[in-house]
Amino acid sequence: MNTDLPDDHTLFGALELANRAPSVHNTQPWRWLLGDSSIHLMADPARQLPVTDPAGRDLVLSCGAALHHLRVAMAALGWDTAVQRVPNHGDPTHLAALEVSPHLPSDEDIALAAAISHRRTDRRRFSSWPVPEGHLDLMVRRATEVGALLVPVTDASTRRRLTRAIDIADRMGHDDVRYQMEVALWSGRSRVAEDGVLSASSPRHEHVHGDTTMRTFPRGSLGEVETGRGEPDAGQLLVLATPADDTTSLLRAGEAASAALLTATDLGLATCPLSQPLEIADTRALIRDQVLDGAALPHLVVRTGWLPTAAPPLPHSPRRPTDKTVDFLPGTRRARHER
């Protein structure tokens, strides 16, 4: 690359941060194609979950989170990214093309990039401290800035309808042997793994926090924090949605999920994306009609709150080495060098 473009060290550092994005069952279903002056985000169908995600909705959502993570990392390193989403209708795996230009990082850029390494999917109980309204407002605003709706579910009756949909999805999952086998395949991983859900990040038993049933991952070894046991869990639920349901909308929803999760992390909150009730058509329709009043299409539930003060930090989820996620466009300088 020339001096008007990031060097390889900068680019691969940003891609390493992008690969820390959350994804369904930590499948990391993306790859990057590098040109001499462009970066391309590609879906990886080989990492799609055929039972949990037959239509590839979670896959695109996960790729959207990686796209936003990359843009945040590049911005903090001094590079703006202009994005063309779904640039090649002849190739449904080609989700985004990015062109970069010099950029002066803002305080927000640096704070969100720093949050990437601190963010965890935390399935533990949250404390009884309520999430301040201003924190929720900032999460909503940043999700809106990247093109999706983030709706805090603060009304008690609406929340009951949402948690009922989560309960129904959980029961349906328990009754589906193929689903249970797929979850087990991606669960109970050791720290030397490159993907999947760590045993050390999954609670040992089935668990319900307050009114919210959490997805169960087999072979979990994570214990609950003893401090504050018996106190109510004040975890806040927010629904991520878009007006439309095409690939671009799903991609933007993933970007908005990343924006909300990184914002919450920067504010000191713990977070856990809940996708199970959106993976089943019936419960997704319930959330659309009974939580969003039919005004938007839901893609994800985000649970956020404060951890008990004694909660130890969770380990990093495993990630594939960056070079395993990168290829080069034919004819580029790097591709010629690789040969």
Residues 79 and 151 in one domain: no
pLDDT tens-digit profile of 51-107? 999 999 999 999 999 999 999 999 999 999 999 999 998 999 999 999 999 999 999
pLDDT tens-digit profile of 60-74? 999 999 999 999 999
pLDDT tens-digit profile of 134-168? 999 999 999 999 999 999 999 999 999 999 999 99
Which among 164, 154, 147 is positioned nearest to 256, based on CA atoms? 147
**Phi, psi (deg, nearest 5) at residue 141:** -65, -45
Q: pLDDT band at 1, cuts 50/70/90?
A: very low
Q: Can you tell me the distance from the alpha carbon of 266 to that of 154, in angstroms, rounded to the nearest whole number?
A: 22
Phi-psi map region of 331: left, alpha, beta (phi>0 left; psi -120 to 50 alpha): left
Q: Residue 246: is it exposed, middle or buried by C-beta count within 10 angstroms (0-12/13-18/19+)?
A: exposed
Residues 229 and 298 in one domain: yes
Residues 195 and 283 in one domain: yes
Q: Which residues of 82-104 are buried (b: 16+ CB within 10 A; e: fewer)?
A: ebebbeeeeeebbbbbbebeeee
Q: Can you tell me the distance from the alpha carbon of 325 to that of 11, in angstroms, rounded to the nearest whole number?
A: 13
Q: Cα–Cα distances in Å, from 25 out to 160, 224, 257, 273, 284?
A: 26, 21, 16, 11, 19
Q: Please indicate, yes or no, if residue 311 is contained in any of the structural domains.
A: no
Q: Cα–Cα distances in Å, from 136 out to 141, 142, 263, 266, 274?
A: 9, 10, 9, 13, 17
Angle 38-69-296 (CA atoms, 0-180°, nearest 5)? 105
How many domains does one find in the chain?
2
Residues 148 and 114 in one domain: no
The confidence score (pLDDT) of residue 334 equals: 62
Q: pLDDT band at 331, cuts 50/70/90?
A: confident
Residues 153 and 285 in one domain: yes
pLDDT at residue 336 is higher than 50: no
The confidence score (pLDDT) of residue 15 equals: 98
Q: Please indicate, yes or no, if residue 128 is contained in any of the structural domains.
A: no
| Residue whose token pair is 């959980």 | 170
Q: Which amino acid is at 322?
A: T
The confidence score (pLDDT) of residue 225 equals: 76
Q: Please indicate, yes or no, if residue 175 is contained in any of the structural domains.
A: yes
Residues 71 and 151 in one domain: no
pLDDT at residue 261 is higher than 70: yes
Residues 177 and 287 in one domain: yes
pLDDT at residue 108 is higher than 60: yes
The confidence score (pLDDT) of residue 319 equals: 97
The confidence score (pLDDT) of residue 224 equals: 78
Torsion of CA 271, 276, 279, 283, to 10 degrees: -110
Q: Residue 100 belongs to a domain with what CATH number?
A: 3.40.109.10
The confidence score (pLDDT) of residue 227 equals: 63
DSSP string covering 101-166: EE----HHHHHHHHHHHH--B--SPP-SPPPPHHHHHHHHHHHHHTT-EEEE--SHHHHHHHHHHH
Residues 301 and 153 in one domain: yes
Show the domain range for 154. Answer: 133-305
Q: Please indicate, yes or no, if residue 310 is contained in any of the structural domains.
A: no
Residues 140 and 283 in one domain: yes
Q: Please indicate, yes or no, if residue 125 is contained in any of the structural domains.
A: no
Q: Please indicate, yes or no, if residue 84 is contained in any of the structural domains.
A: yes
pLDDT at residue 115 is higher than 50: yes
Q: Is the dihedral of CA 249, 253, 256, 258 positive or negative?
A: negative
pLDDT at residue 339 is higher than 70: no
Q: Please indicate, yes or no, if residue 312 is contained in any of the structural domains.
A: no
Return the SS3 of 265: helix
The confidence score (pLDDT) of residue 223 equals: 84
| Residue-averaged pLDDT of the chain | 94
The confidence score (pLDDT) of residue 92 equals: 96
pLDDT tens-digit profile of 220-256? 999 877 666 778 999 999 999 999 999 999 999 999 9
pLDDT tens-digit profile of 16-47? 999 999 999 999 999 999 999 999 999 999 99
Helix 57-76 vs helix 107-118: angle between axes, to the nearest 10 degrees? 130
Residues 42 and 18 in one domain: yes
What predicted TM-score, i.e. pTM, was given to this entire model?
Answer: 0.96
Q: Can you tell me the distance from the alpha carbon of 47 to that of 182, in angstroms, rounded to the nearest whole number?
A: 12
The confidence score (pLDDT) of residue 3 equals: 58
Residues 101 and 198 in one domain: no
Q: Please indicate, yes or no, if residue 272 is contained in any of the structural domains.
A: yes
Residues 26 and 46 in one domain: yes
